[in-house]
Structure 1
């Protein structure tokens, strides 16, 4: 990887539910994606961007997480990481640090749900999928208004 370009920080949007945190990483045509979640709340991301630049960052999340409950979905322009909280409950903010987060970390208002507004009907929040361009006839788990990669390649 040392022959690749400089390290950059993509925009990271976040939202939460009582049991999960959603991190949407704005990165077009990424490859060699690596996501590592550690129980103490450390979230590490690395990838190679569309211009062969190295993209990596680490976040020290507010609370502890369950690494086995972390999932990643890749789209053409975004990567959605669902991080499972160790304990159900609302975090005061995304990061453990009380400092203002880096400028590339922003609230995902499209996925945001206030604690009082969270549905309490026993549905799995993974049912909340991004909208897609297709006609809805398939099981599209595409990202942010785009079809998923498999459909885009056809």
Structure 2
């Protein structure tokens, strides 16, 4: 008998993020159809428990532009919507959302804040494979935090050059 893994989701105007929480997953298979049919299967755990999932997503998707990354703790999918627009929920139909599907508040953005970039917390995308097309999406860039830190350090160095006595004062303010 198969089990359902925990699923987290968030969306943007043009894409949906689906994370299947399944540590140490093996034999992972993910299939995405243009009509929005999303299926997942894999095994995990010391006794190789079987996990399966079938989701009928709210609307049609672009399979060629969608991507998947199988990590140690989860399977992360970026599903491109066929048409830009906000979905009122993840699944089509009037039924109640299953208990194993939850909103991913770490990735969630309100409609009016959609211009912000998503911070994926240093996730390694070197093995990021597509479900159709190759390559990375520009929306998966690091935040500007690193650039701001570099700018701070450069300002400290400039202060030190201009005022050698200010070294300790500038260093303690960072």
Show the counterpart of 1:22. 17
Residue 79 (structure 2) pairs with residue 83 (structure 1): yes
Aligned length: 125
> In the alignment, what sits opposite 1:46?
41
Distance in 1 (alpha carbons) for counterparts of 2:90 and 2:6:
15
Please tell me whether residue 97 in structure 1 is matched to residue 93 in structure 2: yes
> C-alpha separation between the residues in 2 aligned to 1:25 and 1:32?
14
Once the two structures are TM-superposed, the CA of residue 8 in structure 1 deviates from its matched residue by 1.0
Alignment check: 8 A CA contact 1:129 1:141 kept: no
Task: Check conservation: 1:61, 1:96, Cα contact below 8 A.
Answer: yes
| SS, match of residue 98 in structure 1 | coil
Unpaired runs of 5+ in structure 2?
127-174
The two structures have a TM-score, normalised by structure 1, of 0.75
- Change in CA separation of 1:75 and 1:129 when aligned onto 2, cut-off 3 Å: farther
**What is the CA RMSD across the aligned residues, in angstroms?**
1.8
**Cα deviation 1:110-150 (Å, max 9, x = unaligned):** 00011111107xxxx6xx34214xxxxxx8349xxxxxxxx
Q: Conserved in 2, the CA contact under 8 Å of 1:20 and 1:82?
A: yes
Bigger radius of gyration? 2
Confirm or deny: 8 A CA contact 1:21 1:85 kept in the other structure: yes
3-state SS of paired residue (2:112): helix
TM-score under structure 2 length normalisation: 0.67
Match of 1:8 among 3, 9, 12: 3
Q: Which has the higher helix share?
A: 2
- Cα deviation, 1:29-51, whole Å, max 9, x if unaligned, reads 00111111101110011111133
**1:83 deviation in Å?**
0.7
Unaligned runs of 5+ in 1: 1-5, 133-138, 143-154
For 1:56-97, what per-residue CA distance to the aligned partner results, in whole angstroms no more than 9, with x for missing partners? 110000000111122111221111111111001100110001
